[in-house]
Structure 1
Amino acid sequence: MKKRIVPLVLSAAMLVSLATSCTNTAENTPSPSQSATPTPSASTGVEDGYIPAPYTVSSEDELTSKFLEPVFYENEDGPTIGVTLLGVIVQDGKYFRDLDNDQELDDFEDWRLDDQTRAEAMAAALTDEQLTHQVANNGSYSAKSTKTEDVVDENGEPVWTKLYPTSGGFGGGGKSEEEEDPDATNIEYLNSEGFRTLVIRNNPETEVAVWFNNGLEQYSEYDAITNGEVAVPFFTFTNPISHGLPNSEGVAAASLGAGNADAVLEDAQYDREVMWAKGVDGLYGPQIDLATDPRWSRNNSTYGEREDMSAEIASNLVIGYQNGDQGMVEGSVLVTVKHFPGDGAAYNGFESHGQTGRYRIYSTENSLADYQLKSFIAAFEAGAAGVMPGYSQPIIDERIAPQSITYNGETYVSRSNWEGTLMLWADENEDGENDNYVKLSMTDQMYQDTILDAADIPENDDQWPVMGSDETSYSLIQLLQNEDGSEIAYDDPMWEDLLNQLTYEDMSRLCAVGLRMTVSLESIGKPETLDHNGPSGVTQKYSAGANGYANQTNDPDKDQTGTCYPCNGILAATMNDQLVQEVGELIGEDAMWAGYAGFYGSGLNIHRTPYAGRVFEYYSEDGILTGLIDTYETIGIQSKGVYVYNKHFALNDQELQRQGLGTWCNEQAMREIYLRAFELPIVNADAKCVMTAFNRIGAVWSGACSELLTDWLRGEAGMTGFAVTDMYEGDYMSKPHEVLAGNDIPDNFPGTTGTGVDTASSGDLGFEFAAYGPDGSTPNAQVARALRESSHRILYTVLHSRGMDGIGANTRIVTVTPWWQTALNVTQIALAVLSVVAVVLLVADMVPSKKKKSNQ
């Protein structure tokens, strides 16, 4: 009993089929379950009234004990309807399914009304949870087997546990046979998920398909009656490749050979009848991207590179599948053309489903409108009811525009205009010289962008975060996991409570100091942590950190140093990811023994010249190789609880005059080469942190570039940890500007005096932020919120590292000044006082002598 009623997804294309209620069933559908109680059948005469459900069931066990044979009612001038557990309303000599079981004809049940009226009425009748489930599908849910003999018992009747998996699963079948409970049905899974739109990933025999779909409807009716809700029928999609439709390239070749796509229409009409018989409601296809790159792995699913032929094929496929060019009508299989607006191959021929093919490059200025879109326009004109957007992101994007030379009106070498932009094709001037080279002149806007001043600080909006709250008293370690052992997520409300406990001074202290460390916060039990400067290994003594295993165990070799490993260029040259991961594990092990929680490495900048001063820290000239090798080193290091700061982010590819250097690059090169090196370890190894660079990205210091640190690093790449600056240079770096952009701590001691953390005053530990506090001279709530988010990232990262080793819920962090430090401080003060007294006495002694000489 496959009912042609589309689940409500608040989409006009899918709601159209609410106007029909046809059914499909195999000729040898099993007899009704003996455990169910059939009610009397309707008489042949059509009289207004109510026909009770043909069956009743009292439990899920009874429901799934056997499939129920649907009872059909044929309307002479309307659809045939079928039911198992629902009643039928008879009005004006017509049959209507009682979807809400109230024995009254509602607008959404009346197939004589227009689609819009029915859809609006059904939307009003569904619960919020039901509505939510109509705008999503479960991804994959298929019959456990495609063959009839595998899903029936000895009497040839279908068995629920043989037909339905207990979970969704790409390709169908859900869990493996080893994981599957042999006595389980899909009821628990369907109850927990609540979806009514399913993607069928296999192509079962017709009889199996009908049982599969009719059983889903049987469950839908039972679920609605049990919960007192409207019965929302299931809507099942398939993919062209899953359903065994003709090969796309073969269809295109045949059409080209014939000079037209007429045969495609006939073939699509036949395929529609097959899908209709099996109970398939919709098709995730056809795929009408164009084959723009021979290296693309999905060329075989396209209709070639000819946009005119692809457009003709697309039009005929839509008309054939949807039973005409009027969109969804009776007998339609809903078409979802993909991947809009012509996703096709990503750069280098990569597939856009994965990270390697995230960015889409359009070959010419108007190629999208003149080439890729033509097939989609033809499909829409033919009435295509649905569209699936692509996966990749367009390469033309203003997100990282400020670093581009063209951003300030400069000319850049272009492949579309070699002769106009590259000096090799320029004519010599009257002096016989070639002067067609790019000259960068600092515009007024570029000059303003280089200066970080008060004008770059957003105005105070007075939206202050909660600070210094005493409503909770969490310590940091309490946010590691719940009582059941599950991890407390970054966005868990408990984090908001803990952050509310922090004062403005706490956040300022945490974000003002970071020279190979993070400072302690006694109020929440956060210890001070140490970082080691990589990337070639731990080269300091094992006794460096107080909570290192060497000190904790009083290792006799604690005054020895760790291992210095081969430079990154040699590691990359091995092309051996397993070996590189082992190196990472050894570095992490050394860091554990030496008491480090973080590691300033590895170096991910790109080899631009062999003469660069820090080439040995970087892997290669290839962004992909760099990112892949570092992925495995990062996995190794972080497996020991040591978070990695990959550096120097970004475009820091020379050491000469790196302070203040402006690096110019177009967006395509940035994404494909320089950012890719950082992206791969973040995506594939959850690399926690980065160290930003000295250089400017275009005209803006990298540590204050929100497009880089917030939009790309957190928004696109998805990094969850924090960012530290390179060695802090106060001449053009600015702590308020950096936290606003997403750079969380500076690589320096407090202030500009170089004082140590232990001896610095509380005011000195963040005086750069003091003016922006609630009681400061220029209070600014946006700075406070930025400090809060930076504090969140720092605390979350430290909490999930070995920096918290030995910390428990009852641990207190206190600052202890040893007796010798106090004695040394007193001695220094005494010597300073004596020195001042001595100078005063010396000056006093010299003044009378000068007077005597003057009298003489």
Structure 2
Amino acid sequence: MKEKRGSNLYAGLMNIFAVILVAAIMAYGIADSYRITLDGYLGTQSSVTINDGDETDLYDYLSDYETAEELVAAHMDLNERLEEEGAVLLKNENNALPLSSDGNIKVTLFGMHSDLTQFSGSIGATTATAQNVKMADAFNARGFEVNPDMVAFYQGLEDTYTPGRASSSAVSTEAVGATVNEVPQSEYAAAPADTYASYADAAIIVLGRDSGESCDYFPGETGIANPDEFDEGSNILGLSRDEKALVQYVKDQGCFEKIIVLLNTTSTMEIESLKDDPEIDSIMWIGNPGCYGFYGIADLMNAASGVSPSGSLVDTYAVNTANSPAAQNFGVYMWNNAADIDSSSSYALRAAWYLVENEGIYDGYKYYETRYYDSIVNPASGATSSVGSSISGGWDYENEVSYPFGYGLSYTTFSEEIVPEKSEIQIDGTSTITVRVTNTGDVAGKDNVQLYLALPYADGQVEKSAIQLVGYAKTGEAAEGEGYENVVYLQPGESEEVTITVERDYYASYDEAEGDGAYVLDAGTYYFAVGDGAHDALQNVMTAQGYLSEGNTAAVVSADLAEKQIIDETKEGAAISNQFTDSDINSLIPDTTTYLSRSDWAGTFPETVESLTATEEMITQLRNDTYTMAEGEDTSEFAFGTLGHSDGTRACELKGITDYDDPTFAKVIANMPLETIATQIAMEYSEMSSFTEMAAGNAACMDGPVGLLLTLGTSAKGIYAMDESDPNYNFSLNTFVSEPVVASTFSHKLAEEEGKLIGNDSIWTQTSWWFAPAMNLHRLPYNGRNNEYYSEDPVLTGYMASDTIIGAQSRGVVTTIKHFAFNNMETNREGVATFFDEQGARENELRGFQMAFEAGGSKEVMTSFNRVGCTFSSADEGLITGLLRGEWDFKGIVTTDMVKAPEYETWEESILAGTDIMLNTSPVNEDGKAWETCQAKYISGDARMTETVYESVHHVLYAFADSVWLNGMSEDTRVERLYPYWELIIISLIAVGAAGTAVSGGLWIFRSVKNKNGKKGA
């Protein structure tokens, strides 16, 4: 019996040690994948760069800030400035704002968003919670006295009435509704109403809709989780019953001198009732203000600060957001034969869903303004029909739009007129338009000048928007070399001239039927116009055309194009042709849908595309397993390195190289083993570890759109290493306003300054690549991730991203624009098959990206999770090979987003299409796993794959050669491996687990054999 107990003891110990061994090995794999992130969080290092002599001389990129204190101050100041110039004043009856008082301005805050504000998005786009300055605190610091009892009232309700948010639905078989969860009137019986009169200079009501990654809102009943919150026929973006009751409650108090509404949202809300309410004095959109933005809002509202609003809307504020053409197809649509496509219970192929975008080019203001134009100029087009109308009867612009794209008020007024003698128009080239701005009001201010273009259109021609933004400028920003800190206001009576450059490639129309596909400029008159938003500019054009009388003809200049121009090659000589034929659902399933045309608004208005059945050909593409690796082919012409061998070439020899054809790249690649490169392709997230062997250190990456998700000190290295005693140690760098607020500044300078500051952050933290800017379009306000994207307009998006890129890359960080392309909703973003027409795609979503590459020079792009047609975006040859690397001549890095499902995000098809990196953390490039062929032994037998992999490495090296990756490096630099304490602990556990398993297993076997022999002897 004693022997049996001993045997059981050893068996138990063996099992325990085996569990420790397996767990430790798994932990090591995960920790190794996130090594840089883990080191940054724990303040440890896994390698050290050693140089002899003064390291400063080895830094090509030096920070603009000598101390962390200066860097932190810049974060606070720029965040505040962005909010000041980005907030949009929508209503200001009787000059209710700014507020003034002999002493502090006494105000009472209302609404749960005044306490639980949405400062940013979520996940990669979140600000540092501990650094978020709450509204009451910021206002109290800037000349206000905020009613403390009302602040305490809302704080006591935080757990019960946390604002609702868009539903979490990254993978979903049905649309999920959301709640608002505003405080109901029943709770106000306990509100400190007796204090209101003491804080009655203004009541400030804050309303909002929270949003974030992997979340969406939905139009109609589907989008409302709690029907009791809303009146019948409402949308989730409309005011809930409790929000309406709150507004009425504030009005009923009768003691407040002013009632002001702030909109804390990046999803445009339905606020027509607030606009029309005579008791609401002011409405201001503030978006997501970031950590320090409320200081800017306080200054805007306080007359003593001298600050005036200068922001304009980046999206159309519709009366009913569910009535737009795009809203007819925004939801969960599953293939009838989804089970035949993917039989797995977990939807491993992410192939069950589709979305048809049949609005064509008519999204956002391009729909509302074009239909308005046709309702007056061409009513025979059906523009005034009831289809898509928010009220019974015919469609009328005044009943559809509360505030148009580009709209925004100031505390002063401006006149804008184009100066023809200083403008030069080349319709088939580059034009420069000079605009004279005069402050015609009584206070100083800044004016953002928006330039629009009306193209000639006739029935039978390619679709055209009646008006489109082509450029913008802002007063007070013309002086070269001046930083953003120097605020230059235009004084009353003063004038300033601004010049806007317009490029043909960013307004030409795309015609799929012109040859093999080409851009076209039809003959006729082209009207350039400025105005307070798209609607005002269009009315100026219509006045110049003789259709209206109230517009400003001095704000318009025109030029004629005698003959139609066909643009079938780029300025660099690359051929332009159709790349997305298979993304039109009609090419796969004929007559599935009709795309919206302004020639027949009623007959072509989009219908919901439901209940489709994928064909066998489509199923093959949806499964994304179309390539079989060759074996035994000759690949000797591609020179890679050999494991354990080097000729002494150092990665730092690439330092500062900007010529893609420089022979040094081949020299470096010849020292990189294919085995290491395969790992780099298949499992790269937070570092480029394959370069470490060549004394290059790690190329660290980091999210996000509101700043690097890193902290000073724990991430600072080299000459920017910090002592833990520094008061700015652990300052989080993710502090900025959301991208729509940046865009609403309409400021080239501020966008570039944000990029520069994030570039400085990258220098301090040795971050080589930044996963931003994000730049998908706001196809609809229901997309929960709109907080990460700039606007509904591609040109505003393109220039904002370009300016940010220029600023960031000037300081050495590689920008990774995302998500390329068509990530226009979060629900089922993983794999949803997105269908569209090529003209709509090129003139809207893709135009912004084109500008970011051509005007901004971004060195990297991240693809999207969704499919382009039936093909995973990273594997779509039309998108990556044909358009990006072909027409746009992009030579930088293409990376996937973080791999979620390797079964459909296949590496072979992606790399062959032009993708370079599969952003992944799990070792799935092993025998028997999803990407087992991503190993040297398989790649080396396939000539096409070997050549593609070689070029992929070339792309990566080219992008990083002139960046902070090689900051502090020289040919004498040594990189020595360190073992941080967390790694030693895991290694020790592996050793203990292995030794314990071996010893206890041996003893168990010994005891078992002994027991068995003993029994035989007995």
Give TM-score scaled by structure 1 length: 0.49
Higher relative contact order (CA closer than 8 Å, sequence separation 6+): 2
